Structure 1
Amino acid sequence: MTTPHDTPLRGLLQTEPAVVTAGAELFAQELRDQAVPVREVEWRPPMDGTAEALATVLADPRLAEANARALELITSAEAELVRVAPASEVLDLKPGEFLHSGPPLTWDRASGPMRGALIGAMLFEGLAATPEEAEEKLAGPDITLAPCHSRGAVGPMAGVISPSMWLFELRDPVHGNVSHCSLNEGLGKVLRYGAYSEEVITRLEWMRDVLGPVLAEAVERHGPVDVKAYLPQMLQMGDEGHNRNRSATLMFLRDLLPHIVGQVGERSQDDVAEVCRFVGANDHFALNLVMPACKLAMAAAKDIPGSSVVVTMARNGTDFGIQLAGTGDAWFTAPADTPEGLFLGSFGPEDANPDIGDSAITETAGMGGFVMAAAPAIVRLVGGDVDFALTTTRTMYEITLGEHPSLQIPILEFRGAPIGIDAVAVARTGVLPQINTGMAGRVAGTGQVGAGLVNPPADVFVQALTALAEQVPASA
């Protein structure tokens, strides 16, 4: 039997009250206004529509082990550039077959920049003589569209890959996976932003005839290039791997430069010099290496029963889609939101297309918006301020499974990058992954109009958790 002296309420009226609040900040502020000390407990209600699925998934005895396994596989993946070759060779793309960014899409639902990129690819491949003819054929039965991710590839922005385009091929020697990505065209009026003018096609032809073959020969002479080794160095040098890739571009050029210059005599000096100039002047060139490296990390965690880890985040300019480790190749999609940020020249919010591109694979793998604290200068491109960059990275730890052992953030005392987006944590906290991104013009042919910040639509996580819950064994 307890006595009055044993109760936890003993002395309550003889001491100053300690007030703890949870939920709406209004409660705490009202008390502060009355000079009452308050300690706030950060708490958010679960995401709308997820309560039942959350309860089911959290009761799954496989969850903890499956997610621990996913994290181990993601962080142990390697990435080596092993060759550069045409898509017709490495992906067996046939004339009339095109890959694009994001989840599956049909021509009738394609946004302006996606339409522009597909029109440009048709012109580049010689399948149409005019944009009008290209549009007519793209609407017909003889053209096939498929997501880059369906072939283990990734493509920035519109992400269009056609048979004649040269691709980077990266391999993970630990888990045996392969990924591919196109070569980066630079900024402004480029195919990936939906431009298809004569200058765009001329540049693509030069990349096909000169850049691709020169890089292919250089990689063959060098041997495998350790792309994963670039990633931690980028974070030490102020890049975050999505919209800042300056250091990785220069590291890549440093590694291959002797093997590029060594081709003088076999190729014209002007061609070799132009390749060096083009790569060195294009700060985003290494984005197309970082993306497939991140794809390899996430591919290592695919198809783990019971895992709630997000292995794909991708956008096609119409839909935003995610895939989970525990739900196979299923896509969970919702309308893509439009980024908010800074605009080029006279462009404004009305000119921007909804979110587009496979480059959110960088955030999926703990780079990009997740490590903006390592690259505070990124806010000068995408908006926000340095405090926002620091706060964003700290917040991303709330929805991830762990910290990457080699991707370390100097300003956070070399804390490992937040890695392994957990759909359960997203639903429980309501915190959405942060993506920083370029913005394509809404109208086909416009090109880039700015850069900014965007989040996935919450509904993709509702759908994903519901599907994951349906796979929980009845005995759980």
Structure 2
Amino acid sequence: MTAVNKLFKQDIKAINLGLESFYNDLKSQHVPCIQVDWKPPSKASRWLSMLEDEKVVDKIEKANGEAVDRLLSAQPVLVGVGMAGEVIPGMTKKTILHAGPPITWDRMSEPLKGAIIGGLIYEKLASNKDEAIKMVLSGELNFEPCHHHSAVGPMAGVVTYSMPVWIVQNKTFGNYAYCTFNEGLGKVLRFGAYGKEVLDRLYWMQNYLAPVLKQALEIKGSIDLKTIFAQFLQMGDEGHNRNKAATSLLFREIAPAVVRTDFSDKQKEEVLTFIDKNDHFFLNISMPACKCSLDPLEGIEYCTILYTMSRNGTDFGIRMVGTGKEWFTAPCEMVQGLYFPGFDEKDANPDLGDSCITETAGIGGFAMAAAPAIVQFVGGTPKDAVNYTNTMYEITYAENNAYKIPGINFRGTPTGIDMRKVIETGILPVINTGIASNKAGVGQIGAGVVNPPMKCFEDALKFFINKYNLL
């Protein structure tokens, strides 16, 4: 009997490479099979050979090591509350900050346009939608990414002059980052809503919430956010879409100081109740903490680590440490996940917001193994959450020495997205996020996971090669 005949008399398992539809066909016929995700090497992966010169490799490794050392040594601290126009560099009364890379009005998504309209009405620069749009079209407004002003904003990310903001400092390097307060769920500005209930809440936050928290922080003193990060990862949060533990930890830190402020008991009660009822309250602190931890990496020559990922609902953009302020953009992807009752894919806006600064810093989707309950919100199983984290080790440079995940033997979170590894492996960063409606003002309609477009990384590689004359 030939070897081939012997082979076919044994139990055989099929191995399918690539297209999963073939695997599904075999599985439906009860054929034992294994799916292997594989694709031919891309053109960009062949460009990596231009980085393989020994001297170039040495420079890149040294630069990446320095960048990750800076990130791991960051000490983000909550130091205060201020008004955006008074504390954010470069703000004017006609400056409108937004999430994501630079974009013009004609290309903006509906949620972003709605949030800008709401911001103009909030600032009393317009009294209604028509007046706001007329002002936009006049050209007298200055639209800028939050990231260009040491700031970050969830979803639409709109920041205007009078909005209260958190002030977070990286004590190691002395730089600051800023973010507005979290409004809660439902009809909110960050999803493009600008009705009376939205504006009333924003004015309450400006006139009642912010003054209490400002004075409470003056009484309390600064709050060490790195310690809170380390704690919430061991309490079931991942720092992006699950913030129950983090918000509770913040509440414990600040509540005694709120009680000691000079405001009325009623106002103090309203402030504490607002924080208590908003599980996402800490997200708007987590984001600037990550932002100020990453900004000191900018400009390290030959570094291939990312220090920005962000999206405006139209374009996804990344920035790489060794290429400075240059944005590499491509169309945003659609989020894959769970929809709230009454909504589906046709109602969804493409990926939106600055909140993936958390993944850029190594938490959020990169730390989903710490938060198995997150899958009830974004879809999948607890095993999927662990798999997401384990896969991210393939494209990162290091493991965090402070942020540990109990469910995977206290392994540090995957930290430092390396452009080279993304292109070499074909593995894209995983981001867990909310799904915004494609109609302004409707709000959040679901949650799920999404990836950046590969084109962003390919363009970053090409720019890197040209910048350092590696052709």
TM-score (norm 1): 0.90
Give 5+ residue unaligned stretches, structure 1.
Answer: 1-15
Shift of residue 343, structure 1, vs aligned partner: 1.5
Q: Which residue of 2 aligns with 1:77?
A: 74
Question: Take 1:196 and 1:24, find their aligned partners in 2: how far apart are those partners?
Answer: 49
Match of 2:245 among 232, 244, 247: 247
More off after superposition, 311-320 vs 174-183: 174-183
What's the offset of the Cα at 1:52? 4.7
Counterpart CA distance in 2 for 1:385 and 1:41 is 20
- Where do 1:292-441 residues align within 5 Å? 292-441=288-437
User: Mapping of 1:116-265 within 5 angstroms?
Assistant: 116-263=114-261
**Identical pairs, percent:** 46
Match of 1:57 among 51, 73, 81: 51
Partner of 2:84: 87
Checking the alignment, whether the CA contact within 8 Å between 2:18 and 2:38 is kept in structure 1 is no
- The equivalent residue for 1:12 is none
1:270 maps to what in 2? 266
Question: Match for 2:382: what amino acid?
Answer: V
Deviation at 1:24, TM superposition (A): 2.4
Q: In the superposition, relative to structure 1, how do residues 294 and 454 fare at CA in structure 2: closer, same or farther (>3 Å)?
A: same
Matches of 2:163 and 2:149 in 1, distance apart? 15
CA contact 2:63–2:300 (8 Å) conserved in 1: yes
Counterpart CA distance in 2 for 1:234 and 1:165 is 28
- The residue that corresponds to 1:98 in the other structure is 96
Which amino acid in structure 2 is aligned with residue 58 of structure 1? E
Question: Are 1:116 and 1:444, in contact at CA under 8 Å, matched by a contact in 2?
Answer: yes
- What is the CA distance between 1:23 and its match in structure 2? 9.0
Q: 1:218 Cα shift?
A: 0.7
Contact 1:152 1:178 in 2 (8 A): yes
Partner-residue secondary structure (3-state), 1:456: coil
Asked if 1 retains the 8 angstrom alpha-carbon contact of 2:97 and 2:146, the reply is yes
Q: What is the CA deviation profile of residues 266-294 of structure 1, one whole-angstrom value per residue up to 9, with x for unaligned ones?
A: 32221111000001110000001111111
Report if aligned partners of 2:320, 2:460 keep a CA contact under 8 Å in 1. Answer: yes
Deviation at 1:22, TM superposition (A): 10
Contact 1:57 1:472 in 2 (8 A): no
Which amino acid is the alignment partner of residue 49 of structure 1?
K
Would you say the 8 A contact 1:230–1:251 is kept in 2? yes
Deviations 1:419-474 (A, max 9, x none): 00001000000000000001111011211111111110110011011111112245
Moved over 6 A (4+): 38-43
- Gap change, CA 1:22 and 1:425, over 3 Å in 2: farther
After superposition, give the CA deviation of every residue in 1:373-418 in whole Å (9 maximum; x if it has no partner).
Answer: 1101101001111111111111000000010011111110001100
Partners of 2:195 and 2:126 lie apart in 1 by 14
Partner secondary structure for residue 153 of structure 1: coil
Q: How many residues align?
A: 451
1:41 CA displacement: 9.5
Kindly provide the amino acid, as one letter, of the partner of residue 86 in structure 2: E
> Cα distance, 1:43 vs. partner?
6.7
What SS is found at the alignment partner of 2:132?
helix
Whether the 8 Å CA contact 1:336–1:457 is kept in 2: the answer is yes
Q: Partner letter of residue 363 of structure 1? A: E
1:345 alignment partner AA: P
**Helix, strand or coil at the partner of 1:50:** helix
Q: Does structure 1 retain, via aligned residues, the 8 Å contact 2:18–2:39?
A: no
Q: Equivalents in 1 of 2:91, 2:327: separation in Å?
A: 23
CA distance in 1, matches of 2:38, 2:348: 34
Distance 1:403 1:252 in 2: 25
Unaligned 5+ segments in structure 2 are 1-6, 8-13, 28-32
SS in 1 for 2:434: strand
State the SS of the aligned residue for 2:226.
coil
Distance 1:23 1:327 in 2: 39
The answer on whether the counterparts of 2:167 and 2:177 sit within 8 Å (CA) in structure 1 is: yes
Alpha-carbon distance in structure 2 between the residues aligned to 1:251 and 1:340: 31
Give the aligned residue type for 2:281: F
Q: Which residue of 2 aligns with 1:460?
A: 456
Counterparts of 1:384 and 1:194 in 2: how far apart (Å)? Answer: 28
- Cross-structure match for 1:5: none
- Give the corresponding residue for 1:114: 112
**Residues 276-295 of structure 1: pairs in structure 2 closer than 5 A:** 276-295=272-291
Give me the CA root mean square deviation. Answer: 2.5
Secondary structure, counterpart of 1:103 in structure 2: coil
Answer whether contact 2:310 2:354 (CA < 8 A) is retained: yes
Could you tell which deviates more after superposition, 405-414 or 129-138?
129-138
Q: Which letter maps to 1:24?
A: L
- Offset, 1:42: 8.4
Q: Which residue of 2 aligns with 1:24?
A: 17
Comparing 132-141 with 357-366, greater Cα deviation is found at 132-141
C-alpha distance 327-262 of structure 1, shift in aligned 2 (>3 A): same
Q: Relative contact order (alpha carbons < 8 A, sep ≥ 6): 1 or 2 greater?
A: 1
Distance 2:122 2:312 in 1: 21
Q: How much has 1:345 moved relative to structure 2?
A: 2.7
Q: Residue 113 of structure 1 contacts residue 444 of structure 1 at CA under 8 Å; is this kept in 2?
A: yes
Q: Alignment partner of 2:43: what SS?
A: coil
Deviations 1:222-281 (A, max 9, x none): 111111111111110000000001111111111111111112xx3222111100000111
1:95 to partner: Cα distance? 1.4
Question: Is 1:447 equivalent to 2:440 in the alignment?
Answer: no
- For the residues of structure 2 that align with 1:76 and 1:444, how far apart are their CA atoms? 40
- Which protein shows a greater Rg? 1
Aligned equivalents of 1:144 and 1:79: distance in 2? Answer: 30
CA distance in structure 2 between the partners assigned to 1:154 and 1:417 by the alignment: 22
